[in-house]
């Protein structure tokens, strides 16, 4: 019997995800802009917790294990703080079946 994706527990879903880290980051954050951002919306919105506030008011960002969901790009209050380009084929997040 085929198992429905919706019936899988979170850990089982994550076990079906590969992260193939591309050499070039598909998301680049201009952390100079982040320093004057008052909401830090990305910190709360990123489901992978990849935006980490620093003690000096800035942001530390790591593109590895990014789900490529685009949430940070949508909620960012900093104008052009986030630059986005999809990874090359075979890189980034890959969902495996079975």
CB of 1 to ligand SF4, least distance (A): 32
67's tokens: 């789900």
Contact 34, 54 (CB under 8 A): no
- Judged by CB under 6 A, which stretch of 1-9, 16-24, 32-40 contacts ligand SF4? 32-40
Is 39 or 85 the residue whose CB approaches ligand SF4 more closely? Answer: 39
Told to check if 76 binds ligand SF4 by CB under 6 A, we report: yes
At 45, give phi and psi (nearest 5°): -90, -25
* Near ligand SF4 by CB under 6 A: residue from 22, 25, 28, 48: 48
CB of 80 to ligand SF4, least distance (A): 9
Rounded distance, CA 73 to CA 67, Å? Answer: 12
How many CA atoms does the CB half-sphere of 83 hold within 13 Å? 7
């Amino acid at each position: 019997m085929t198992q429905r994706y919706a019936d899988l527990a979170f850990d089982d879903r994550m076990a079906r995800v590969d992260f193939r880290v591309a050499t070039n980051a598909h998301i680049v954050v201009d952390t100079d802009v982040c320093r004057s951002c008052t909401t830090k919306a990305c910190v709360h919105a990123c489901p992978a917790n990849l935006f980490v506030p620093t003690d000096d008011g800035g942001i530390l960002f790591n593109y590895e294990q990014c789900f490529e969901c685009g949430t940070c790009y949508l909620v960012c209050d900093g104008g052009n703080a986030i630059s986005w380009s999809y990874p090359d084929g075979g890189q980034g997040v890959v969902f495996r079946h079975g």
